[in-house]
Amino acid sequence: MHLDHHLESSAAVSADARRPDGTRRALRIGLGGPVGSGKTATVAALCRALREELSLAVVTNDIYTREDAEFLLREAVLPPERISAVETGACPHTAIRDDISANLEAVEDLEDEVGPLDLVLVESGGDNLTATFSRGLVDAQVFVIDVAGGDDIPRKGGPGVATADLLIVNKTDLAPYVGSDLARMAADAKAARGELPVILQSLRSEDGVREVADWVRERIAAWTA
């Protein structure tokens, strides 16, 4: 086996908006947040909502299995060649922030193999409240928390809650059962985030991802404008 074949050009270095052949690369949106908050469920719902109108792909960052990728495959939200799993060596935040090379490679390989793409969703393996994506990897990031994780999380803030381009407070259907005060969560989030948007959603309800899908559409429109 030898790989001496020549290509016209070589991969872009990092966040360049253009691919080596001069075309615009896909918009990349990262989804971070604690384990179990609903990142994979949101990715799945977004794929279902957007796959007819956009050329989509997903990169998952599983901590020690391929569960997320396998869930998306099982649910058949996208054809298998559009879903790629990155291994993160026990450090999910490193792979999305400090050393993004494996994720960049996954994104670029997807564009090469199934492109052209309009949108790549990059799901973090799930981490603590300080984990954010590097601007070298994604163009926008969504932080997903849920009402069952405690209604004081928006008040506690932290980089994810305070600075993400969109904060999703997920599983609002569970609020009555876990005694979470949605109004307070919304007010605390507003206080921590100023003008940055917050969406409360339940994926258990019909078309629960609609508002988030609209936010993604706006991002795409701005990216391609």
Partner 1 sequence: MTRAALLVLADGRFPAGGHAHSGGAEAAVRAGRITDAASLESFCRGRLHTSGVVAACVAAAAALGVDPGQLDRAADARTPSPALRVAARRLGRQLMRAARATWPSPELDALASRFPKGAHQPVVLGLAARAAGLGPLDAAYCSLYEGVSGPATAVVRLLGLDPFDATGVLARLSDDMDRVAQEAVETGERVVTDGVDVLPARSAPLLEIGAEAHAAWAVRLFAS
Residues that constitute the known binding site for GTP: 33-40
Q: In terms of Cα–Cα distance, which of 122, 124, 54, 113 is closest to 81?
A: 113
Looking at 73, 174, 182, 196, which residue binds ligand GDP (CB under 6 A)? 174
Amino acid identity, position 112: D
73 binds ligand GDP (CB under 6 A): no
Shortest distance (Å) from residue 201 CB to ligand GDP: 6
102 binds ligand GDP (CB under 6 A): no
CA atoms of 194 and 168, how far apart (whole Å): 15
Buried b (16+ CB within 10 A) or exposed e, 138-156: bbbbbbbbbbbbebebbee
Choosing among partner 1, Mg ion, ligand GDP, none, which partner's interface includes residue 3 (Cβ < 5 to 8 Å by kind)? partner 1
Footprint on residues 24-43 left by Mg ion (CB under 5 A): 39-40
Give the interface with partner 1 as residue ranges (CB under 8 A): 1-4, 6-11, 13-14, 63-66, 87-91, 94-95, 98-102, 104-105
Shortest distance (Å) from residue 31 CB to partner 1: 20
Q: How far apart, in Å, are the Cα atoms of 49 and each of 46, 90, 152, 208?
A: 5, 32, 31, 10
154 binds ligand GDP (CB under 6 A): no
Q: In terms of Cα–Cα distance, which of 15, 18, 23, 222 is closest to 122?
A: 15
126 binds ligand GDP (CB under 6 A): yes
What is the Cα Rg of the chain in Å?
A: 17
Which span (99-107, 158-166, 184-192, 202-210) binds ligand GDP, by CB under 6 A? 202-210
Amino acid identity, position 156: K
> 59, 31 in Cβ contact below 8 A?
no
Nearer to partner 1, 13 or 225 (CB): 13
Which span (30-38, 88-96, 133-141, 192-200) binds ligand GDP, by CB under 6 A? 30-38
Binding-site sequence positions:
33-40
Q: How far apart, in Å, are the Cα atoms of 155 and each of 108, 161, 193?
A: 37, 9, 10
Binding residues (CB under 6 A) for ligand GDP: these are 35-41, 126, 170-171, 173-174, 202-204
